[in-house]
Amino acid sequence: MRYLILALLPFLALFLQSTIFRTFNINGAIPDMVLVLVVFYALLNGDRKGTMYGVMCGLLEDLYIGRFIGINSISKGITAYVIGRLQGNVFKENIIVGIIGVIGGTLLNSGLLFILSLTSFEVFNLDHSIFIDMVYQGIYNTLIAIPMYVWYYRSSSRGLLREVGER
């Protein structure tokens, strides 16, 4: 059940990102719910599992978009690895940890996407708007991270996302 939910969550996040959040955008920017999920998963499950989940979620996003397949897999995989390294060193019960993880994850993921875009795209027109988008996305991600972390942490410790044997 746990794995089914973990597999369905990025599907649902992509669906919401492409429909409802487009209506409720902040200055044209939408949140990256898939990234938020990856950050939470890595924070609670460590770098190894986190990286795998990050790569899979990124791949799903890449396949949906259908362009430069792998770009989100790499960026989300690396982001999850870095966040996952913090697993044993932070007090995960504190929501601030989740929020800081999301802010750091957004910055790292955006930076990686930016570098990968510059090296991969044949044409990639650049101006300041890309950085403005990053800032707005960071704010939006932080806003949705608050209720999401509360639910995710509860679910992971005593709900549907709890690992079998950890009762």
Partner 1 sequence: MFNFLQKKSFWTILITALLLLVIMKLSSSNRQEITVLEKLLRDSYSPLQTGVDKLKIGINQISVGMAHKKEIEEQMVALETKNNLLSLENQQLRENKAEVERLRSLLAYKQAQQDQYDLEAARVIARSPNNWYKIITIDKGAENGIAGGMPVINPDGLVGRVVSVSTNSAQILLITDREMAVGAILQETRETRGIVEGMGDSGTLRMINIPYYSQVRVGENVVSSGLSETYPPGIHIGSIQVVTKESNGLVLSATVSPAVDFNQLEEVLVIKKYRQVEANGNKGA
| Binding stretches for partner 1 (CB under 8 A) | 14-15, 17-20, 22-23, 28-30, 32, 34, 48, 51, 55, 60-74, 77, 113, 116-117, 120-127, 129-130, 133-134, 136-137
The distance of closest approach from Cβ of residue 150 to partner 1 in the complex, given in angstroms and rounded to an integer, is 24
DSSP 163: P
Cβ atoms of 59 and 69 closer than 8 Å: yes
C-alpha distances in angstroms, 79 versus 19, 82, 122, 137, 159?
25, 5, 25, 16, 26
**Which residue lies nearer to partner 1 by CB, 123 or 164?**
123
> Can you state the angle between helices 95-120 and 33-65, rounded to 10 degrees?
30
Please state the closest distance from residue 151 (CB atom) to partner 1, in A. Answer: 21
Q: By C-beta, is 13 or 153 nearer to partner 1?
A: 13
Residue placing its CB nearer to partner 1 in the complex, 18 or 94: 18
